[in-house]
Amino acid sequence: MHPAIFNVFEEICRRHLPDGARVLEVGATSTPDTLLNLPALRGAGLRVGVNLTCETETSGHSFVQVAADGLVAFADAGFDAVLCNSVLEHDPQFWRTLAGIGRVARPGALIVIGVPGYTDALASPLRRWALGAARLPGMGRLLQRLSPGWESATPTLVRHDYPGDYYRFSPQAMREVLLADCREVTIRIEMRPPRLIGYGWRSAAPVRAT
């Protein structure tokens, strides 16, 4: 995880999570940059991470080997916060994982999700440069030959299999799909190519994965 992304999660949790909160990280790792190691979570009442590969306990938090799909190892409404970063783009049926997050998060729980995104093509510095260069004699044709469709392209994070890499998300998708069941949603766009970090509070009754 890039330190800048870790720091954004730290800022959000420091501002919005009280001591004693029960926190779940979907896609946790046993590395130092797992979100369960956020300084803001030192006062958490419970820190649990789920992943597919390990089952252990480290530095005051535990890992459970379970698929994110449905989060079947956990009871309904058992957590005050659910954190998830760089997971949903690797999940071919990410909507099932979202349903699991909604089920285990209590109403009013903080949900924070990070995913790779894409930017508005007009906002790309490279595209602005290319638009200017295309006005020079012959440059428009050259750019079109070198990179067909460049005028409507937008930068995205490079492919990063783990084990597959299926999706990139827009801010609209963050608001209307990934955090559709949350209220007071805030979306932050960090780095280039963009990473989206969205958060809000669970507004509806828990749901079950289908």
* Whole-structure pTM value: 0.81
Res 57 pLDDT > 90: no
pLDDT digits (tens, 9 = 90+) for 11-22: 999 999 999 999
Question: Where do the structural domains in the chain lie, given as residue ranges?
Answer: 3-119+156-202, 121-152
- Any idea which of 50-59, 177-186, 196-205 has the lowest mean pLDDT? 50-59
Residue 172: both structure tokens together = 């609209």
pLDDT of residue 193: 84
pLDDT of residue 147: 64
pLDDT of residue 205: 56
Tell which wins on pLDDT, 195 or 210: 195
- Identify the CA nearest to 101 among candidates 199, 3, 2, 1: 199
pLDDT digits (tens, 9 = 90+) for 75-98: 899 999 999 999 999 999 999 999
What is the b/e burial string over 185-195, where b = at least 16 CB atoms within 10 angstroms of the residue's CB?
Answer: bebbeeeeebb
pLDDT digits (tens, 9 = 90+) for 139-191: 767 766 666 655 556 777 888 887 799 999 999 999 999 999 999 999 999 98
The CATH code that applies to domain 3-119+156-202 is 3.40.50.150
CB distance 209 to 185 below 8 Å: no
pLDDT digits (tens, 9 = 90+) for 99-140: 999 999 999 999 999 999 986 655 556 556 656 666 677 776
Res 207 pLDDT > 70: no
Give 97-129 as a 3 state SS string: HHHHHHHHEEEEEEEEEEEEEECCHHHCHHHHH
